Amino acid sequence: MGSTEDLDYPQIIMQYSNGFLISKVMFTACELGVFDLLLESGKPLSSDAIAAGLGASTMGMKRLLDACVGLKLLAVEMTQEGALYRNTEISNIYLTKSSPKSQYHIMMYYSNTVYLCWQYLADAVREGRNQYERAFGVSSKDPFGAMYRSDEEMLKFMAGQNSVWSICGRDVLAAFDLSPFRQIYDLGGGGGALAQECVSLYPNSTVTIYDLPKVVQVAKEQFVSPEEHQITFHEGDFFNDSIPEAELYILSKILHDWDDDKCRQLLAKVYNACKPGGGVLLVESLLNEDKSGPVETQLYSMNMLVQTEGKERTAAEYSKLLEAAGFGVIRVKRTGKLYDAVLGRK
């Protein structure tokens, strides 16, 4: 940055302006099932075979595959039969639908919902509010009413969040020793992937997923096996309904959806419900104290502007919210991954 060469030819600006092309190439290869087909096939395939297998045009597929090679999401080898494509290790693990660490669902949520919301980023910055009205013609006033505007959208969102916890869940739950807490409520626990990580990591715990009735319904039907006896459910709206007593409350990616007032309201309710000696675990992506980074978190804070009423915050901002509600002995742990952990005790 800043060298004469860079000033003569702005590589960085070109990279940034190509960003959406890169996102969409990866999202599209996922959506069309390229990585799944290559995994199932068990051997490298030609572009024509992949196009035929996925019902796509040969001219479009060839270019998509080559772009994926350029992005190192696929590898290619030249043979007598022509170019043969195969998954890279990263793609096998993260971009196939069947992998335990699959990011497929969060990609689809980004590609089909978030991408369109971001078309209206300039309006979001001008107005200081989310853009569901412009993007999807639904009221911007109740963000979760908008996000869950159809069962299909709600399902996509829940599956997307589960993808995230499949790679980040264990680290945020292992950031502190939570084994003293047996009775855990995961407020807004959605599809239950974090709850599942929790009972796996802390075999003596039971986790109750507290979420809206329609979310709980889908979580039971589609995501959490009835065999999973350590996980139970509680239907409710944690702003308007009561919160039962427990030893630990997990709020993962909840406070970032709301403004400071709403966060204070919610944390006060949680504090009142919490057993003495209990605690609350916030799982969020933390901004640096001077808000100079990390850039991913800054970008997600823009996303909170476009999609919610909230923002990403610094560790000090979360600590202040916790203290205002009565929590003490606040500890912060950065995991080095996207989501961090803040623990407050009653």
Residues known to be catalytic:
256
Q: Which token pair is 294?
A: 């990390």
Q: Does 84 engage in binding with a second copy (CB under 8 A)?
A: no
76 versus 235: smaller Cβ distance to a second copy: 76
The answer to whether the peptide bond before residue 294 is cis (omega within 30 degrees of 0) is: yes
Instruction: Give least dist CB 17 to a second copy, A.
Output: 6
Q: Does 126 engage in binding with a second copy (CB under 8 A)?
A: yes
Q: Does 98 engage in binding with a second copy (CB under 8 A)?
A: no
Give Cα 53 to chain centroid, integer Å: 30
Beta bridge partners of 329: none
Instruction: Give least dist CB 35 to a second copy, A.
Output: 11
Q: Does 159 engage in binding with a second copy (CB under 8 A)?
A: no
Q: Say how far apart CA 229 and CA 1 lie, in whole Å.
A: 55
DSSP string, 207-258: EEEEE-HHHHHHIIIIIS-TT-TTEEEEE--TTTS----EEEEEEES-GGGS
**Look-up of token digits 């992998």:** 99
Q: Say how far apart CA 210 and CA 188 lie, in whole Å.
A: 6
* Count, residues near a second copy per rule CB under 8 A: 82
Give the range of 12-20, 221-229, 230-238, 273-281 binding a second copy by CB under 8 A: 12-20
Q: Say how far apart CA 147 and CA 64 lie, in whole Å.
A: 30
Q: Say how far apart CA 113 and CA 160 lie, in whole Å.
A: 11
Residues 305-334 that bind a second copy (CB under 8 A): 305, 311
Give Cα 180 to chain centroid, integer Å: 27
Q: Which token pair is 269?
A: 């309710």
Q: Which token pair is 131?
A: 């853009």
- In Å, the largest CA–CA distance within the chain is 71
Report CA-CA distances (Å) from 175 to 165, 172, 276, 343.
14, 5, 22, 9
Instruction: Give least dist CB 290 to a second copy, A.
Output: 7
Q: Say how far apart CA 73 and CA 96 lie, in whole Å.
A: 11
Site for a second copy (CB under 8 A): which residue of 40, 204, 291, 329? 291
Residues 55-74 that bind a second copy (CB under 8 A): 55-61, 63-64, 66-67, 69-73
Site for a second copy (CB under 8 A): which residue of 37, 49, 84, 121? 121
Instruction: Give least dist CB 328 to a second copy, A.
Output: 30
Site for a second copy (CB under 8 A): which residue of 40, 98, 116, 151? 116
Instruction: Give least dist CB 274 to a second copy, A.
Output: 31
Q: Say how far apart CA 31 and CA 24 lie, in whole Å.
A: 10
Number of H helices, E strands in the chain: 18, 10
Site for a second copy (CB under 8 A): which residue of 152, 177, 261, 290? 290
Instruction: Give least dist CB 203 to a second copy, A.
Output: 23
Give the range of 112-120, 146-154, 174-182, 324-332 binding a second copy by CB under 8 A: 112-120
Site for a second copy (CB under 8 A): which residue of 183, 217, 298, 314? 298
Q: Does 296 engage in binding with a second copy (CB under 8 A)?
A: yes
Site for a second copy (CB under 8 A): which residue of 23, 99, 206, 314? 23
Q: Does 289 engage in binding with a second copy (CB under 8 A)?
A: no
